[in-house]
Structure 1
Amino acid sequence: MRRRKGLGGSPFTALATSLALAVIGALVLVAMPSAFAASLFADDFEDGNSNGWSKSGGSWSVVADGSQAYRQSGTGADARTVVGTGWSGQAVQARVKPIAFNGGGRYVAVLARAQSTSNYYFLGLSNSGSVVLGKRTGGAPTTLGSAAATVTPGTWYTLRLEAFGTTLRGFVNNVEVVSATDSTFSAGKVGLAGYYASASFDDVLVTDAGGPSEPPVTPTITPPPPGSCPTSGTPVGFAAVNAWGRNGTTGGAGGPTVEVDTASELISAIGQSGPLNICVRGMITVPAGMYNVTSDKSIVGIGSTGGISGGGLNIGLPLDNSVTSPPANAVNNVIIRNLSFRNASDDSINVQMFSHHVWIDHNDLADGYDGLIDIKRGSSYVTVSWNHTHDHTKNMLLGHDDGNSAQDVGRLKVSYHHNWFDQTPQRNPRVRFGEPVHVFNNYYVYNTDVGVACQLNAGCLIEGNYFERVEVPATNTYAGTAGRCVARNNVLDDSGPPECSGSVQEASSYYAYTLDDPNSVKAIVSAGAGVGKIGT
């Protein structure tokens, strides 16, 4: 391979290669492009040296690792190396192979806009099971955004960090997985880092053009057959309430309808601005991670076979503990319907950071890694309805942590109705802080740990449900500080009694609803919950 360092010259030509991104249960192969325009710098280390690179910490040397590569050996140092000049708009890409990590929260990374070896942006593969986008300003790293991913030592990955204006985008194996906005650094060098970690780096390339290195894929504006993608509908429960500047949940209503059947089309569509109805054809396998959904979206499966495997959907801004009230740009007005979720590398659906007016309806969820539907960090006005959950332990979490009262108290208002909790042992849901949490007309069967767990002063109204072979249908003393729950008009079929005490706000003070006869709920829900059932 030719090697060129510095500015100008002809485009750098990279060796076409297939790189593996480790995901739970799958291996996704992505072919690298054959050429890049507007190359600013390139180094493949085939001349056996690292001339021009300035090092700080660690033990850096050029070694044979398949081809010649630049290695940071040992895990006992905060090791960084930088090269180049004061580039402003830049995309820095490198092949990176993590080798070993020293302790938790460590990473190997590419750097952009480096003012020095102590001030820069970075995109790293972390041993905490994530891709981390962050910055250093002389002290410890600051996380700007992250996405769950399986990081396997000894595996090569291609990382690309783009910095154009105030927008930062991080790619793994040519798939965008994380983004953020920050204005700390406007220009600088590029670099590599092993934050108390060892790694090999190769094929460093810097260009002045952003976006996927393959042409971006725009979903085709092809409406699906009538009735096969049910984008219209009206929720019952908190998603229908007029609050926080929004009256009800309409998703992509008023926007165009697109059909997607590949990971790149899906990820592109859910991240677009403006109203959009996204019809998912077939089961789409995405790389490991959580993919951000923007406001005013309806994501709906076509027929009974649409779904997402390998990753999950994130509805919400990046985590920020300093934000304690709903921001103006909180994600809102999102509908997820008629989709099957399988083998998610983290949560199948995650709602966070004051996201509101979200309707999760008629989905089939199973075999995930963490939660199937988790709602947390001040999110509110959510309805979870007519979903079938099965073959999974950690089902649904509402409120993620005992110490998050500043964001959660007075929020986490969620309705759960007509869901089929099918042999899911726990978190059906597990609730902290929220009030009222309205759990009505659901069918519970053989939940071996607990049905509804209401704690941390949460207030749960549990009514009109059918519990079959559930030892503890509901409790307000599951763990830690007690909550409050009111259980009424439930069918207890070969089940123990609810363990409830205290008073709870009435859901009827927020919205109107009509209870189905709880004796009929088993038949109604088992026939109507899940995919391919809307309108039946």
Structure 2
Amino acid sequence: MVTDSGDDDPVNPRPGTLRHAVIQDTPLWIVFKRDMVIQLKQELIMNSFKTIDARGVNVHIANGACITVQFVTNVIIHGLHIHDCKPTGNALVRSSPEHFGWRTMADGDAISIFGSSHIWVDHNSLSNCADGLVDAVMGSTAITISNNYFTHHNEVMLLGHSDSYTRDKLMQVTIAYNHFGEGLIQRMPRCRHGYFHVVNNDYTHWEMYAIGGSANPTINSQGNRYLAPVNPFAKEVTKRVDTAASQWHGWNWRSEGDLLLNGAYFTPSGAGASGSYARASSLGAKSSSMVATITSGAGVLNCRRGRQC
């Protein structure tokens, strides 16, 4: 249980702090004793087999470093307000009871997933960070991003390191039941190489585009609600980034059962064979008419001890 909101020493964290809990080698379900605001001095580097569960209290990670999930597996992040994350680094940081090391500058992502697998980011409220809100790169896979509320941010979600980093061809990500809300501009997500199931999300705000990609990602958009902005030049849901049409015409991008409002349009591509989307299909889509209900509880749940969420 986290009882201490402090982060005085990233190399020798005090017992009772969140940093002390997440670096342990043993599997842990981490809960919080009370409401707290945690201002991290350096990246919170998580060890494998950890669940952060902030249900029942009001926990903000804000105004400092944020969460790094690097070369680990089986991590759940649930129920946090994560916002106003800053670049940090050029410092020593502990990543396990036995190891600490030098960290170069971090970008200021809310949640950075690097070379990791079996990661679930669920029911968090994320906004206004220096770089991305959720970025997953360098061979990360088996990721579910669900029931989150994203607001007030430019480059929301990057999935895939670079066009030349082909290990991300194995990446599989599910993006489900999220609300992409006010003040968002682009990258919801921006994909490279892998397989992406975008299902039953509510897109109520974007300024440039909602879903983008390069380097031949497979994108399966099912049962989402896309509400285009007023700007007549930003009605398109999709964007192929820095790629000629002669190249992207063969990419497998499809819209199936999506609700397109206020002039929104999704530009599909590829042969359209259903078998092409097998690795980008992780759950059955509900009707897009149900999206408002499905996503009504997106973000941090209003839970209190002794009451059902």
**Residues 1:422 and 2:174 are matched in the alignment:** no
Q: Specify the SS of the correspondent of 1:393.
A: strand
Q: Which amino acid aligns with 1:365?
A: L
> Does residue 113 of structure 2 align to residue 351 of structure 1?
yes
> 1:332 pairs with 45, 48, 73, which one?
73
1:514 aligns to what?
284
Distance 1:458 1:533 in 2: 36
The structure in which a higher percent of residues are strand is 1
What is the correspondence of 1:1-16 to structure 2 with a 5 Å cutoff? none
For residue 176 of structure 1, the aligned residue among 2, 5, 10 is: 10
Q: Summarize the alignment of residues 207-222 of structure 1 with structure 2, pairs less than 5 Å apart.
A: 212=12, 217-219=14-16
Which residue is equivalent to 2:299? 530
In 2, Cα distance between the equivalents of 1:433 and 1:289?
31
Greater RCO (CA < 8 Å, at least 6 residues apart): 2
**Which runs of 5 or more structure 2 residues have no equivalent in the other structure?**
1-5, 87-107
Q: Which residue of structure 2 lines up, in the alignment, with residue 432 of structure 1?
A: 192
Note if contact 2:203-2:226 (Cα within 8 Å) is conserved in structure 1. Answer: yes
Shift of 1:523: 3.4
Structure 1 residues 512, 480: closer, same or farther in 2, change over 3 A?
closer
Partner of 2:124 in structure 1?
Answer: 363
Q: 1:416 & 1:506 partners in 2: Cα distance?
A: 18
Aligned residue type for 1:272: Q
Which of structures 1 and 2 has the bigger CA Rg? 1
Structure 1: stretches of 5+ with no match in the other structure: 1-29, 31-172, 178-211, 220-264, 318-330
Q: Contact between 1:485 and 1:503, CA under 8 Å: does it hold in 2?
A: no
Superposed displacement of residue 408, structure 1? 1.2
TM-score by length of 2: 0.79
Structure 2 counterpart of 1:272? 24
The percentage of counterpart residues that share the same residue type is 28
Shift in Å at residue 285 of structure 1? Answer: 2.4
Per-residue CA deviation, residues 236-256 of structure 1 (Å, 9 max, x unaligned), is xxxxxxxxxxxxxxxxxxxxx
Q: Are the counterparts in 2 of residues 372 and 396 from structure 1 also a CA contact under 8 Å?
A: yes
Provide Cα deviations, 1:119-138, integer angstroms capped at 9, x if missing partner.
xxxxxxxxxxxxxxxxxxxx
- Residues 189-208 of structure 1 correspond to what in structure 2 (within 5 A)? none
**SS state at 2:155 partner:** coil
Query: Where does residue 408 of structure 1 map in the other structure?
Result: 168
Q: 2:139 aligns with which of 372, 375, 378?
A: 378
- Give the partner amino acid of 1:175: D
Residue 237 of structure 2 is aligned with which of 474, 481, 501?
Answer: 474
* Map of 1:306 onto structure 2: 59
Contact 1:452 1:473 in 2 (8 A): no
For 2:271 and 2:213, the matched residues in 1 are separated by 12
Tell me if the contact between 1:459 and 1:503 (Cα under 8 Å) persists in the aligned partners: no
Paired amino acid for 1:396: M
Matched, 1:451 2:231: no
Amino acid at match of 2:79: N
The equivalent of 1:249 in structure 2 is: none
- In 2, the alpha carbon distance for the partners of 1:458 and 1:490 equals 19
Q: Which aligned pairs between 1:25-36 and structure 2 lie closer than 5 A? A: none
Contact 2:40 2:66 in 1 (8 A): no
State the match for 2:39 in structure 1: 286
Count of equivalent residues: 265
C-alpha RMSD of the superposition: 2.3
Check conservation: 2:188, 2:211, Cα contact below 8 A.
yes
Against the structure 1 CA distance between its residues 284 and 291, is the aligned structure 2 distance closer, same or farther, given a 3 Å change threshold? same
Please say if residues 290 and 347 of structure 1, whose CA atoms lie closer than 8 Å, have aligned partners that are also in contact: no
Q: 1:461 deviation in Å?
A: 0.4
Whole-Å Cα distance in 2 between the matches of residues 533 and 511 of structure 1? 30
Quick check: 293-302 or 501-510, which moved more?
Answer: 501-510
* Aligned counterpart in structure 2 of residue 492 of structure 1, from 239, 255, 260: 260
Match of 1:17 in 2: none
What amino acid sits opposite 1:532 in the alignment? L
Determine if contact 1:441/1:465 at 8 Å carries over to the other structure: yes
SS in 1 for 2:300: coil
Is the alpha carbon distance of 1:304 and 1:465 closer, same or farther for their aligned partners in structure 2, counting shifts above 3 Å? farther
2:69 is aligned, of 315, 319, 326, to 315
* Amino acid paired to 2:40: P
Task: Check whether the contact 1:304–1:531 (CA below 8 A) recurs between aligned residues.
Answer: no
Is the alpha carbon distance of 1:506 and 1:418 closer, same or farther for their aligned partners in structure 2, counting shifts above 3 Å? Answer: farther
Query: CA shift at 1:288, angstroms?
Result: 4.1
The 2-side partners of 1:294 and 1:531 are apart by 23
Report the secondary structure of 1:519's partner residue. helix
Task: Give the partner amino acid of 1:347.
Answer: D
Mapping for residues 256-267 of structure 1, pairs under 5 Å: 265-267=17-19
- How far 1:429 sits from its partner (Å)? 0.2
The alignment's TM-score, normalised by the length of structure 1, stands at 0.47
Q: Report if the CA contact (8 A) 1:375-1:412 is conserved.
A: no
Give deviations 1:271-318, integer Å, cap 9, x for gaps: 11110011134233233432210100000113251231122111113x
In the TM superposition, 1:17-56 aligns within 5 A as: none
SS of residue paired to 2:31: strand
Aligned 8 A contact 1:476 1:500 in 2: no
Contact 2:121 2:146 in 1 (8 A): yes
**Which deviates more from structure 2 when the two are superposed, residues 419-428 or residues 512-521?**
512-521
